[in-house]
């Protein structure tokens, strides 16, 4: 697969993000006993593990983020903390995470399309993006309105994701 140099930092953020995503669901599954949640988390975990595998294949290992331990830990907390507050908090968290990730992949696809090459890579990122969208929708259909507290938490998750992306873009 043709990987243009300019996209490597973005792929590093994707790899870091998918690593974090796997750990979000590990964090959820560690304490959640509710059947609906366990099923939801196992289903998403399967997809996220596949995303991670795909990125492992295309990102040279010397280009991986040096802070993977941190992304694992923060991902874990992003799943574990809302699990202390019940189902809805988990779905809200996933909704905010996936809305962020959807935009994140869209930006990269847009940049690659401008170059009009790396069609295989575009196809791969499209696939990841579409699966994140279906994760987003899967969480969205499980709750209606957001409380103020959920909105605040969601924004913490969103800002945290932004910061994590800007750091893993570099290191």
Q: Which stretch binds Fe ion (CB under 5 A): 40-48, 63-71, 79-87, 147-155?
A: 40-48
Q: Work out the burial of residue 103: count CB atoms within 10 Å of its CB; fewer than 13 is exposed, 13-18 middle, 19 or more buried.
A: exposed
Smaller CB separation from Fe ion, 21 or 90: 21
Q: Which of 13, 19, 28, 48 binds Fe ion (CB under 5 A)?
A: 48
* Range in contact with Fe ion (rule: CB under 5 A) among 19-27, 71-79, 117-125, 138-146: 19-27
The closest of 106, 109, 105, 83 to 94, measured between CA atoms, is: 83
DSSP 59-120: S-GGGS-TTHHHHHHHHHHHHHHHHTT-HHHHHHHHHHHHHHHHHHHHHHHHHHHHHT--HH
Cβ closer to Fe ion: 12 or 135? 135
Q: What is the smallest separation between the CB atom of 98 and Fe ion, expressed in angstroms?
A: 5
Count of residues that bind Fe ion according to CB under 5 A: 6
Q: Is 135 in the site for Fe ion (CB under 5 A)?
A: yes
CA distance 35 to 86: 12
The residues binding Fe ion (CB under 5 A) are 18, 21, 48, 51, 132, 135
């Amino acid at each position: 697969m043709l990987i243009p140099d300019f996209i490597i930092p973005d792929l590093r953020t994707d790899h870091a993000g998918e690593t974090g995503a796997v750990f979000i669901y590990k964090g959820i599954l560690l304490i959640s006993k509710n059947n609906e949640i366990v099923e939801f988390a196992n289903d998403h975990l399967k997809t996220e593990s596949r995303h991670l595998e795909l990125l492992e294949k295309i990102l040279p290992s010397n280009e991986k983020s040096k802070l993977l331990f941190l992304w694992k830990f923060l991902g874990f907390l992003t799943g574990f903390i809302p699990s202390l507050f019940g189902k809805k908090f988990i779905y809200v968290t996933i909704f905010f995470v996936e809305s962020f990730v959807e935009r994140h992949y869209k930006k990269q696809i847009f940049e690659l399309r401008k170059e009009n090459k790396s069609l295989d890579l575009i196809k791969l990122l499209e696939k990841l993006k579409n699966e994140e969208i279906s994760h987003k929708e899967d969480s969205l259909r499980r709750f209606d309105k957001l409380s103020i507290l959920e909105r605040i938490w969601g924004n913490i998750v969103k800002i945290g994701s932004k910061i994590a992306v800007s750091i893993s873009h570099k290191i």
